[in-house]
Structure 1
Amino acid sequence: MAAIMSNSEVTYLFDPLCGWCYGATPMLDRLSATGVRIELLPTGLFSGAGARSMDEGFAAHAWSNDQRIERLTGQVFTPAYRHNVLDISGTLLDSHAATLGISAAGLEDPSRRLAALKAIQRARYVDGSDVVTTSGVAEVLAAAGMADAAEMLKAPTETLLTAHRELVGRGRALFQRLHADGVPSLAVIRNDAPRLIGSNALFGSFDNLVAHIAAA
């Protein structure tokens, strides 16, 4: 099984402001540790037309889901996140800056996308920090040792913007091709034929997830 996994490659569809994606991060770490190559593709779920303002009803809904995710995965959603993010009415739930930051981090080395995603998730859900503005995300990336990505984010070049559009476009196209019903979603692509692995597999046992990937 270890040999099979070390030769496997999966594609992970996500949005950096998705609480369930934060909950799935430990599984990504475990997959990566077994030698599985993981390509991260953002879908832009909460950017553009998907962005929305935070209000009391949405905040309550989000916190309820977050508590469920914490019980299921052990990923922590702190009081700082609740007070500084959810309880600030009128703030935007907009993942554009965070997604662009992840694109910047992976521009030369795609393997850095996961490190950037984890830094942004920790900043939001643990530290209660701003990750919806360019300046906030740049600060997070710089603190995570990705000062080059932070500088690119503050003054994006056409090269970065083009690569970002292509990355999100690929994510959205695959999402639609798979008929996925949300993020996070995981796919195994062999011979240009993607196979969707149900998101439930990311929140069950690791052995079950490995079996799904091996069988795909």
Structure 2
Amino acid sequence: MNNKELALIYVWDAYCGWCYGFSKSLKVFHEKHPELPLTVLSGGLFVGERKQPIGSYTHIPEANKRISQLTGAEFGASYQSLLKEGTFILDSEAAAIGFSALRSFAPERSLNLASSMQRAFYYEGKSLSDPTTYREIAIAHNLDPEAVVARFADVATIKDAQADFMKVQQLGIHSYPTLLLQRGNEYIGLGGGIMTAEKMEDRLNRVIS
């Protein structure tokens, strides 16, 4: 099988702190492999009964400390205020809809758009349920802000986000972040969590050699 038949699938959630920490390593790795098409799928971490105030998840402050120590990710003062106050609702479906709206205008920049969403939340303390957040991200990425906001409210976008959740379930992925290498009908784990770009590179080389 030649390398033209290889592709990457990244499963993330906008409200996943480990995904925020992993994003820098993933960007470095992806920039080294422009030949590998990348699909970014929203996983749906806080949906249904798990859509709760951030204060309900008492492990988060300690997890954030570990993420910072292990990945160097910075959690901004505005986010820390949200965390301390505790009532902010973690709604992964709204975030997945927002991501779908952005992605529809620039699918080739999906990873950068995902990264901007996580910075908006984890550094700037902005809600990923708020259309204004997507307007700002759209402007930063030279996308049409009004078109993005209109897409955010479109039924087709909701269906697209739900299709992401279904694809992730079909892949059997239950933890985020997860980077997969697709080789034909085979899906091989390449990394996630605290894996460095170098370790992902080693894993890729082992798989394809």
TM-score range, shorter chain: 0.7 to 0.9
1:21–1:70 Cα change, 3 Å: same
Q: Which residue is 1:142 aligned to? A: 138
Q: Which residue is 1:191 aligned to? A: 184
**Per-residue deviation at 1:13?**
0.8
Of the three residues 8, 11, 17, the one matched with 2:9 is 11
Q: Which residue is 2:43 aligned to? A: 43
Asked whether 1:102 is paired with 2:95, we answer no
The count of residues paired between Structure 1 and Structure 2 equals 201
Letter in 1 for 2:50: G
For the aligned residue pairs, the C-alpha RMSD in angstroms reads 2.4
1:142–1:123 Cα change, 3 Å: same
Q: Which residue is 1:24 aligned to? A: 22
1:127-138 equivalent positions in 2, closer than 5 A? 127-131=124-128, 133-138=129-134
d(CA) in 2 for partners of 1:93 and 1:73? 23
Letter in 2 for 1:151: A
Of the three residues 59, 77, 81, the one matched with 2:79 is 81
Letter in 2 for 1:196: G
The higher relative CO (CA closer than 8 Å, separation ≥ 6) is in 2
**Per-residue deviation at 1:7?**
7.8
**Per-residue deviation at 1:166?**
1.8
**Per-residue deviation at 1:181?**
4.7
**Per-residue deviation at 1:172?**
2.4
User: Tell me, which stretches of 5 or more residues in structure 1 are unaligned?
Assistant: none
Letter in 1 for 2:20: Y
**Structure 1 consecutive aligned stretches of length 4 or more whose deviation exceeds 6 Å:** none
Of the three residues 99, 103, 120, the one matched with 1:123 is 120
User: Tell me, which stretches of 5 or more residues in structure 2 are unaligned?
Assistant: none
1:48–1:113 Cα change, 3 Å: farther
**Per-residue deviation at 1:198?**
4.5
Deviations 1:15-71 (Å, cap 9, x if unpaired)?
00000000011112112211243211111111233311222x625x21111111111
Is the 2:6–2:182 Cα contact (8 Å) retained in structure 1?
no
